[in-house]
Amino acid sequence: MRVAIIGGGWLGLPLAKKLSQSGHQVVATKRSEKGVQSLLDVEVSAVQFNLGDSLDSPHLTDVFNAQLLIINIPPGRKSLQPDVFLQDMLNLINTAKQRGIEKLIFISTTSVYGESSRTVFEYTKVAPQTVSAKLHVTLEQHIRDLFKQHSVILRLAGLVSKDRHPARSLSAKKNIENGQKVVNLVHREDVISAIEKIITNDKFGHTYHLSSSEHPSRQQYYTDAATALELPTPEFVPSTSKDKGKVINCEFTLRELELNLQYPSPYDMIY
């Protein structure tokens, strides 16, 4: 299959490499020349593209000649202009449809469910609270309306890899609140495997989400993780709250995709 990935970075690059190795014809985008070179270095075709650039540029021909488009562009946190981001994303999605893209996978986030204490399933009503979550909900619906049964919304919990673990950013921090709430994490390798399953088994027309199957408390997990990684342990504010936050249940996704998680527990993700 001809696959184009908009956003060939931390997730997109290894995904592009894996799909290419599996026999797909892959092209991915990066914002900088250095980023383009990082894709070329792993033998993946690449073009330079930044969200908001002209979509009529000839060098995007290979992108819009793809059969499947994977959009993996999260809103930037520091310089986010919500209205501009939303319009640029809508233009990209609309152009993809107009140029003949047949299928679309949109990488979204489980933050669309909000932070209420409950177990959420793929069909649970969304309750976005942050600007980013609200943008994702709007884009999800637009994609469903436009691509219908040829689209997939893939909502991801907190992402982890060997070189990216949240325990490192929490190390040595003090007065951290909500230590009683559970963690919802997913490993990058499991995300890549899920996308491969979607493509190979033609599992379009659904909303999926991914998270590990186990959900220890933040205080317990990040303390244990810091110890295992030989980092200064974080300090949490004592809490008597019974609010455990949301728990991502992805049994439907795992069953539908016939996917066995390589990292079913957050403890499996500690290197």
* CA atoms of 260 and 174, how far apart (whole Å): 36
Could you tell me if residue 229 is left (phi over 0), alpha (psi between -120 and 50 degrees) or otherwise beta?
alpha
DSSP-assigned letter for residue 261: -
Q: Is residue 124 part of a domain?
A: yes
65 is written with which tokens?
């000649």
Q: Does residue 18 sit within a domain?
A: yes
Q: Note whether residue 226 is domain-resident.
A: no
How far apart are alpha carbons 267 and 130 in whole angstroms? 28
Q: What is the mean pLDDT of each run of 10 residues along the chain (271 residues)?
A: 97 98 97 96 96 95 98 83 96 98 98 96 97 97 98 98 94 95 98 98 98 97 96 95 95 98 97 78
Residue-number span of the structural domain to which 155 is assigned: 2-161+186-213+247-259
Q: What is the pLDDT of residue 77?
A: 66
Q: Is the residue at 223 inside a domain?
A: no
Distance CA 210, CA 161 (A): 15
Note whether residue 99 is domain-resident. Answer: yes
- The token pair at 136 is 């994702």
CA 66 from chain center: how many Å?
Answer: 21
Q: What is the pLDDT of residue 58?
A: 94
Cross-strand bridge partners of residue 207: 153
6 pairs with which residues across the strands?
71
Cα distance from N-terminal residue to C-terminal residue, the chain: 35
Considering its fold, how many domains does the chain have in total? 1
